[in-house]
Amino acid sequence: MEWLVHFYALHSKLIDQVGINAIFALSLSITLQAGHLALANAAFGGIAAYVASLLSIARGWPLSVTTLIGAAAAALVGAAVGWPVTRLRGVYLAIATIGFGEIALIVENNLSITGGAEGLSQIPNQTTTWKIYLVLAVLAFIFWRLRRTRAGWAIAAVREDEHAAASFGIDPTRVKFWTFVASAAIAGVAGSLYAHENFFIAPGDWGFSRMVDILVYCVIGGAASPWGAMLGAGIISLLPEVFRFLHDYRDIVNGVVLLAVVIFAPQGLAGLWARDRRGRKATPPGAAEAQGS
Amino acid sequence: MRNITRVLIATAALGGTLAAATGAGLAASHPDLKWTAIFDSTGPAGAYGTSQKNALELAAADIDAGKIESGGQKISIDIQDSATSPAQVINIMQSAFGNGTSLIVGPTLSSEAFKADPLAVKANVPVMGVSNTANGITEMGPCVFRNSLSEAQIVPDVIEAAKKSWHVKTAAIIYGDDDQFTKADYTIFNADLPKAGVKVVDVETFHKGDVDFKAQLTKIKEAKPDVIVYGALYAEGAKLLDQARQVGLHGHEIGGNGFNSPQIIALAGKAADGVIVGAAWYAGAETNGNAAFVKNYTAKYSKSPDQFAAQAYAGAQIAAAAVKKSHPADAAGMCSALKQVGSVQTVIGPFKFASTRDADAHGFVVQIKNGTFSKFE
Amino acid sequence: MFDQQLANGIFLGAVYALFAVGYTLIFGVLDILNLAHSAIFMASSFVALALVRHGVPFWAAFLAATMFGGALSVVLDRVAFAPLRARGVGGGALGPLISSIAFGIIVVSVMRGIFGPDEIGYPSGSVPTANLHLGHASFTAMDLSVLLVSLVMMILLSLLLKATPLGRAIRAVAENTKAASLLGINVEHTIGLTFLIAGALGAAAGILIGAQFNAVGILMGQRIELKGLAVIILGGMGSIPGAVLGGFLLGLLEVFSVAYLSSSYRDAIAFAVMFLILIVRPSGLLGKRAGRTA
């Protein structure tokens, strides 16, 4: 027991980081499960983080309130962006979301209310470990149950084959739109939690390299299930600490590990396990695009 | 035995016991200290973090060899790479607290400091920033120190020097608006130039990583300023200087803090001649131990040190001097020691902490001439 | 000022065009976001610089490093993309994107180990640096070289694609891999050659741009990579003339937005244009492929 307390004292921040990264990973996994590659989660996290932080600083509202408002703001922007963007296919959708992310970054750098490049400091430190993991547990539970609902079937159908889904009366664009908005909202929750964990945020926290990190969580762990996304977030967050003894060679090892997982376990590590259990290959998210539509 | 012999033996025994007791007592009251340095030696800030890492390795060796005095107390410095990731800065720090570290040196970026230093404040471990220049750093806690000069402390001297020698009446500023370091150049020059009677006739911006500045420079040329102020780090700075010549700008120029790097000269060559820079340090500065520092650093790392290296080395000198003066035993002791350190001769000049724990020191106004930085007359 | 800004825009455009030409080839053929292209761009630039520092004349180093880039690109395909193709994970899927990122991380890391994190420049005198003038505009010899090379590349590549068997094979594979193989085309071979060409183009861009701005650094590819996306979207993915046209248009747009609006939004305009094109006309100016599902 004492060992646990001591371990927590030494590593509580890392544990918190894993949790927040897992929520980001979940936000991406929902769009991946619907079969589209949307790359604006980091940007949505940033939007919510700024909104929530400014409210906390100016009004002192509790974390749950500011996070909800932040996530709602992210969802609203997500809806505005998603409306035109989810009509695009494959790579074009991905690029459009990257473009949006870059624009959001530049806007954040230039507005005085966000503090610009100097960032926003003295954000109240309201995030705690149990709050993060509570949110994570609730989200994971929702995702897990989602599979058996009509919405869940619709999402899976759109991923497998958009045309077939349409012939069943499912509107692929609507599914893509709503998963996009949902992913923006969830990313927003993660963003707000991050801001209230770290005292300070700057536009650079929400750029393309952060998006790549989130992408990597889903790839390593596997986006097909919430467990995969969370597993990936956990492994990648821990990797720099585990490999610290490698000093400057950490990057190479990171790259090699990433490459190996992508090539030998394209459904992620959770997918490997899923495949063994069901004895057949789970369809990787996004493979529908591969048929050269 | 004769009486005198007994007395002699007794005295010797007493003396020996006293010496042993004092030695043991000394060792007990001067335990080994552990410091943790957290720098971004990889990632986007890798160029700066590597300089800092190199300098601190040199400092650690110099402390061991006694070249930097610590009053005989052994100090081991653990230098960790945070890879330009605030998360890693935080994790390294948290682990360091568990290992009994009594001082954190770093982190490299102010944005990282804002996220991580509050943890050190909570754990009562002092932090010595050696490259944090933003506003609000030392306000984070009573044991947060820094030895890095902010632009606000250097710029007025630079403007005065430019006015005196060049009689400038108008200025244009071009700066990176997505980096706190370069944005500070704008904020401060833009405020201080008018105070000195110099009108700002044009302001242009760019982003980190940009390679082409000709559009902005052409616009500046149209505004015909007496002097151009560059708020840039060395990579963009070198290209700015090059391209300024290409579009036909040959007038007076001032570089911000980021220009104080041998890389500017290496990359821009002759285009850099004549630029004046406000700096916390320069390689030719005749400060205590600087010549040896430059020589040893160059010999060990095959390149000359830059300001990041000098301030990191000076940070170690200051902390070691604090140890020598107060013999701290732990983190709390280290904090008090730093508060009481008084004036220290460092490679960046005579140094002391202001009451706010910021640097109370003067910068230099230097000019690039014939490939080196020299004092601006 | 207008003359100079026009020249600025054209020469900036040439830089973008040069980068985009190689970039769009892989996109067009394999429909994948190859985020390792910037790493090849960067690594080849270092190779050329290293050769010049050892006394090799610039244009000879250029040729050698271009071949290096082509070879590295083939390695990229073998290591990161081919195994995924073999498993049937193709096109728009996540896998190739991530494996290209992973390959890029490895290359950047290796280069940092060899060359360090700083930006380094060419020894003076090794690269043509003459300042030229045309009317009121000034530019450098390297600016002109980049412009000429990008135009030549566009012409050669277009000819290759239109008039040679290899070009026909590439276009067939770009249309439909299965049909191409049914037509007797060796798909893997063709893809490999496509990577070779794209890599050589990326290398050429990296070497010239590194010399033009006299700065070779491990991060040099990352900024231009995102702009490169805007260029190929504007021009139309997969279209070589589109990449060149898009490059020049973007260069001019950026420069004139600085000249007549504000420099703060220079990058925002580039991405806003990209975003708008995707919404309104995803196939870009000269592209043929439809980008919409609804």
Residue ranges of E strands in C159-246:
none
Please say which residue of B227, B256, B279 terminates a domain. B279
B304 found inside a domain: yes
State whether B229 and B329 are in the same domain.
Answer: no
Q: How far is A245 from A226, CA to CA, in rounded Å?
A: 31
Q: Which of A13-22, A160-169, B38-47 has the highest mean pLDDT?
A: A13-22
Cβ distance of A96 and C87 shorter than 8 Å: no
Q: Evaluate if residue A290 carries a pLDDT over 50.
A: no
pLDDT digits (tens, 9 = 90+) for B161-179: 999 999 999 999 999 998 8
User: Number of folded domains in chain A?
Assistant: 1
Task: Give the pLDDT confidence of A198-225 residue by residue, as tens digits.
Answer: 999 999 999 988 998 898 898 888 877 8
pLDDT in tens, A146-161: 888 888 888 888 888 8
The pairing of beta strand B103-105 with beta strand B127-129: parallel
Task: From C77, C34, C22, select the one nearest C199 (Cα to Cα).
Answer: C22
* H or E segment and range at residue A166: helix A162-167
Residue of A nearest to C174 (CA): A292
pLDDT attached to residue B170: 95
DSSP B274: T
Which residues 6+ apart lie within 8 Å of A248 measured at CB?
B41, B42, B81, C112, C113
Express each pLDDT in A63-84 by its tens digit.
999 999 999 999 999 999 999 9
Within a domain: residue A104? yes
Asked if B206 has any chain C CB less than 8 Å from its own CB, the reply is yes
Asked whether residue B28 is domain-assigned, the answer is no
Give the HSE-up count for residue C96: Cα atoms under 13 Å, Cβ half-sphere.
30
Long-range pairs of B300-305 with CB within 8 A, sequence gap ≥ 24 = B300/B54, B300/B58, B301/B54, B303/B262, B304/B262, B305/B51, B305/B54, B305/B55, B305/B262
Q: Which domain holds residue B304?
A: 33-149+286-362
Cα–Cα nearest to B257, from B124, B342, B149? B149
DSSP C184: T
- Does A117 fall in a domain? yes
Kindly report the number of other CB atoms within 10 A of residue B271's CB atom: 23
Q: Number of folded domains in chain B?
A: 2
Task: State the ipTM, two decimals.
Answer: 0.89
Q: Give which of A80, A25, A27, A76 is closest to A47, Cα–Cα.
A: A76
Residue B29 CB burial class (10 angstroms; 0-12, 13-18, ≥19): exposed
* Chain A residue numbers touching B115 (CB-CB < 8 A): 198-200
Residue B2, helix vs strand vs coil: coil
Number of separate domains in chain C: 1
User: Residues A88, A92, A98, A101: what is their CA dihedral angle, to the nearest 10 degrees?
Assistant: -30
Q: What is the mean pLDDT of chain A?
A: 87
DSSP 3-state assignment of A207? coil
Q: List the beta bridge partners of residue B203.
A: B173
For residue A33, pLDDT over 70 is answered with yes
Which positions in chain B touch A237 (Cβ < 8 Å)?
A: 87
Render pLDDT for B247-261 as a digit per residue (tens, 0 to 9). Answer: 999 999 999 988 888
As a dihedral over the C-alpha atoms of residue A142, residue A143, residue A149, residue A152, rounded to 10 degrees, the angle is: 150
Same domain, B121 and B181: no
Instruction: State whether A89 and C293 contact (CB < 8 Å).
Output: yes
Closest residue on chain B to A239 (Cα): B88
- Name the residue of chain C whose CA is nearest to B214's CA: C8
Residues counted in chain B: 377
Residue B176: phi, psi to the nearest 5? -85, 120
The C-alpha torsion from A241 through A247 and A249 to A250, rounded to 10°, is 10
Task: Give the domain range for residue C185.
Answer: 2-118+137-280
Residue C105 lies in a domain: yes
Is-contact B179 B45, C-beta < 8 A? no
Q: Are the beta carbons of C255 and B204 closer than 8 angstroms?
A: no
Chain C residue at shortest CA distance from A268:
C95
Q: At B50, which amino acid appears?
A: T
Is the model's pLDDT at A291 over the cut of 50?
A: no
Show which of B279, B310, B336 is a domain's final residue: B279
**Does the beta carbon of C209 lie under 8 angstroms from any beta carbon of chain B?**
yes
What is the rounded CA–CA span in Å between residue B61 and residue B56? 8
Measured CA to CA, the distance from residue B75 to residue B82 in angstroms comes to 22
Nearby residues of A7 by Cβ (< 8 Å), 6 or more positions away: none
Q: Which helix (H) or strand (E) holds A164?
A: helix A162-167
The answer to whether the Cβ–Cβ distance between C118 and B219 falls below 8 Å is no
Characterize the bridge pairing of strands B33-39 and B359-360: unpaired
C contact residues 264-293, partner A, Cβ 8 Å cutoff: 264-265, 267-268, 271-272, 274-275, 278-279, 282, 291-293
How many other CB atoms are found less than 10 A from the CB of residue A90? Answer: 23
Establish if B20 belongs to a structural domain: no
C143/chain B closest Cα distance in angstroms: 11
| Greater model confidence, C119 or B12 | C119
Domain match, B113 and B229 both: no
Contact call for A259 and C94, based on CB within 8 A:
no
Q: What is the pLDDT of residue B14?
A: 60
pLDDT tens digits for A43-54?
Answer: 999 999 999 999
Question: Per the structure block, which two tokens stand in for B70?
Answer: 């610590």
Chain A hits for B134, Cβ within 8 Å: 118
Taking 90 as the threshold, does the pLDDT of residue B5 lie above it?
no
Assigned domain for B17 exists: no
B51 has pLDDT over 70: yes
Query: Cβ(C36)–Cβ(C250) under 8 Å?
Result: no
Q: Which among A109, A199, A251 has CB closest to B114? A: A199
Q: How far is B118 from chain C (nearest CA, A)?
A: 30
Residues with pLDDT less than 70, chain C = 89-93, 288-294
Partner-chain contact C9 B215, CB within 8 Å:
yes
CB B80 within 8 A of CB B56: no
The amino acid present at C186, given as its one-letter code, is: N
Which of B90, B94, B114, B119 has the highest number of chain A CBs within 10 A, making it the mutation to test binding with A? B114
Minimal CA separation from A45 to chain B, in Å: 16
Q: Which chains touch B (3 or more CB pairs under 8 A)?
A: A, C
Spatial CA neighbour of B134 closest among B119, B120, B146: B146
CA A50 to CA A44: how far, in whole Å? Answer: 10
pLDDT for residue A112 is more than 60: yes
Q: Of C151, C145, C115, which is closest to residue C132 (Cα–Cα)?
A: C145
Which pLDDT belongs to residue A273? 67
Which of B120, B133, B114, B55 lies closest to B359 in space, CA to CA?
B133
The mean pLDDT of B276-303, rounded to a whole number, is 92
* Whole-number Å distance between alpha carbons of C270 and B10: 90
Nearest to B121 by CA among B135, B101, B102, B142: B142
Directed axis angle between helix A226-242 and helix A2-33, to 10°? 130
CA distance B349 to A103: 44
What integer is the mean pLDDT of B127-145?
A: 93
Cα B247 from Cα B39, distance rounded (Å): 38
Domain boundary among B279, B311, B344: B279
> What is the Cα–Cα distance from A229 to A234, expressed in whole angstroms?
9
Q: How far is C276 from chain A (nearest CA, A)?
A: 9
Q: How far apart are the first and last CA of chain C?
A: 46
Nearest CA in chain B to A116: B178
Phi and psi of B338, rounded to 5°? -65, -40
User: What is d(CA A190, CA A184) in angstroms, rounded to the nearest whole number?
Assistant: 10
| pLDDT of residue A36 exceeding 90 | no
User: Are both B248 and B302 inside the same structural domain?
Assistant: no
Q: Is the pLDDT of residue B19 over 60?
A: no
A162·C293 Cβ contact <8 A: yes
- The enclosing domain of C20 has a CATH number of 1.10.3470
Q: Specify if A83 maps to a domain.
A: yes
CATH number at residue B346: 3.40.50.2300
Nearest CA in chain C to B49: C117
Instruction: Answer yes or no: is pLDDT of A283 > 70.
Output: no
Q: Rounded to 5 degrees, what are φ and ψ at B185? A: -55, -45
Q: What pLDDT, on the 0 to 100 scale, is given for residue B8?
A: 67
Secondary structure (3-state) at B71: coil
User: Nearest-5° angle of CA B188, CA B176, CA A211?
Assistant: 130
**In terms of C-beta density within 10 A (0-12 exposed, 13-18 middle, 19 or more buried), how is residue C262 classed?**
middle
- The strand pair at B127-129 and B144-146 is best described as parallel
Which residues, including other chains, have CB under 8 Å from residue B30's CB and lie 6 or more apart?
B71, B72, B73, B327, B329
pLDDT at residue A160 in the model: 82
Give the mean pLDDT of chain B.
Answer: 90
CB contact under 8 A, A103 and C272: yes
Over residues B308-317, the mean pLDDT reads 96
Which residues of B are less than 8 Å from A11 in CB distance?
A: 91, 94-95
Q: Which domain holds residue A167?
A: 17-207
Three-state DSSP class for residue B280: coil
Q: Is A263 within 8 Å of C106 (Cβ atoms)?
A: no
| Structure confidence by residue, pLDDT tens digits, A213-256 | 898 898 888 877 888 999 999 999 998 888 888 877 777 888 88
- CA B341, CA B114: separation in Å to the nearest integer? 25
Which residues on chain B are in Cβ contact (under 8 Å) with C216? Answer: none
CA angle B63, B67, B70 (to 5 degrees): 50
pLDDT > 90? residue B2 = no
Question: 3-state DSSP call for residue A86?
Answer: coil
Residue C75 lies in a domain: yes
Q: How far is CA B273 from the centre of its chain?
A: 24
Cβ–Cβ below 8 Å for B183 and A10: no
Q: Is A62 exposed, middle or buried (0-12, 13-18, 19+ CB in 10 A)?
A: exposed
Of chain A, the percentage scoring pLDDT greater than 70 comes to 92
Q: How far is it, in rounded angstroms, from Cα A55 to Cα A64? A: 12
* Contact: B87, A237; criterion CB under 8 Å: yes
Question: Measured between beta carbons, which residues in chain C are less than 8 angstroms from residue A92?
Answer: 233, 237, 278, 282, 291
